[in-house]
Amino acid sequence: MSTSPIRVVLLGYAGVQTLDLAGPLDAFASANSVRPAAYLTLTANVVTTAIQEAGLRAEIAATERVVALEREALSVLRRELELGAIAEGDVFAQEAVLAQLEATLPPLHRQLESSRDLLAVLTGHLPADFKAVRFELDQLSLPADLPLGVPSQLVERRPDVRAAEAQLHAATAQVGVAIASLLPQVTITGNIGSSATAMAGLFKPGTGFWSLGASLSQTLFEGGTLIHRKRAADAALDQAGALYRSAVLTAFQNVADALHALDTDADALGAAARAESAAQKSLDVVRRQLELGSVSYLALINAEQTYQQASISLTQARAGRYSDTAALFQALGGTITPMSAAPAATRR
């Protein structure tokens, strides 16, 4: 059984690091025990966890920058308090803001460590033995085009739909077997004989004859059992049909949810990018004003805090869109490549 590692491509990430999935894949990729649904779920979970780790790492870095700015602002306020330029309550208010922001860091670090442990388990390693791969949000990229709509044939690639379809075919075959069992079993036999009365004429021409006969066999006492087997096969077919319908409806629901999420993610990402750009421009203006002496240093710190908060929101929006893109891949059975050559509507 092969244990070669596979390269997990994170939505276009072309890095040189790989995640060794040899452990869990041995259970799923055997020629005699292929489990496409389990493999797809495993792959999607690995990708989603890696995206979550990258997003948390970026959010922690941005939050730490904001904390540093808040501490610097507190130092400025304390100096102004010593000079009698501000009231003591202003310092207390800034201390409260700093403490609240610092309190957000431990949960983020805990989530990051949990994501790394989960990634170790998903790739078949103990957390203590796992060689952590450092994922950065800036190293990830979305496909060039994401679909606004997809052909319904893509849903047929989902392992759960194909498994439900196979069960439906098997149940249909069992109904045919049960119907055949109800029919009488007819056996036709042919016996060769001779009309010769003496051994010497046994093989003379004109003395041979054939005897054709038919025997009809059917166990009378199994009649009730066979009809109940037929009814059970019909019930199993109805159940398989219902399960297939449910699998198809669930598949379309998953795809629709993922497409709706991507559509709203695009709007959220655009708004977060505009907010971050505006905050950056505001920060540049305040810096120029500080050089001219028209604003205080505290105004610069406030502008930097606004920019960093906008940066955190943009980071969260980017991570959310990466995760929802991975969800779309999973909903479509691991691909968004159309079956036909006709291009689908896309959104950048």
What pLDDT digit, counting tens, does each position of 200-224 carry? Answer: 554 555 555 445 454 555 554 455 6
What are the tokens at 55?
A: 């997003």
pLDDT value, residue 7: 42
Which DSSP state fits 343?
Answer: P
pLDDT value, residue 223: 52
Instruction: Please indicate whether residue 85 or residue 95 has the higher confidence score (pLDDT).
Output: 95
* Crossing angle (nearest 10°) for helices 297-331 and 223-292: 160
Residue 314 pLDDT grade (very low, low, confident, very high; cuts 50, 70, 90): very high
Residue 11 pLDDT grade (very low, low, confident, very high; cuts 50, 70, 90): very low
- Residue range 133-145: average pLDDT? 77
What are the tokens at 51?
A: 């995206």
Question: Do residues 157 and 332 lie in contact, with contact meaning Cβ atoms separated by under 8 Å?
Answer: yes
H helical segments located in 139-222: 159-182
- Residue range 124-132: average pLDDT? 83
Q: How far is CA 252 from the centre of its chain?
A: 14
pLDDT value, residue 80: 85
Question: Given a cut of 70, is residue 326 above it in pLDDT?
Answer: yes
Question: Given a cut of 50, is residue 25 above it in pLDDT?
Answer: no
Question: Given a cut of 80, is residue 300 above it in pLDDT?
Answer: yes
pLDDT in tens, 249-281: 888 888 888 888 888 988 999 999 999 999 999
- Residue range 29-40: average pLDDT? 57
- Residue range 230-241: average pLDDT? 83
Task: Please count the CA atoms within 13 angstroms of the CA of 152 that sit on its side-chain side.
Answer: 5
* Beta strand segments in the chain, E: 146-147, 185-194, 208-217, 346-347
Fold of 144-183+223-348: Outer membrane efflux proteins (OEP) (1.20.1600)
Residue 328 pLDDT grade (very low, low, confident, very high; cuts 50, 70, 90): confident
Q: How far is CA 23 from the centre of its chain?
A: 19
Residue 26 pLDDT grade (very low, low, confident, very high; cuts 50, 70, 90): very low
What are the tokens at 84?
A: 């009698």
Mean per-residue pLDDT of the chain: 75
Segments of the chain assigned to CATH 1.20.1600.10: 1-140, 144-183+223-348
Q: Into which CATH architecture does domain 1-140 fall?
A: Up-down Bundle (1.20)
Instruction: Please indicate whether residue 265 or residue 188 has the higher confidence score (pLDDT).
Output: 265
Task: Please count the CA atoms within 13 angstroms of the CA of 161 that sit on its side-chain side.
Answer: 19
pTM of the model: 0.64
Give residues with Cβ within 8 angstroms of 62, minimum separation 6.
308, 311, 312, 315
Q: What is the share, in percent, of the chain residues with pLDDT greater than 90?
A: 15
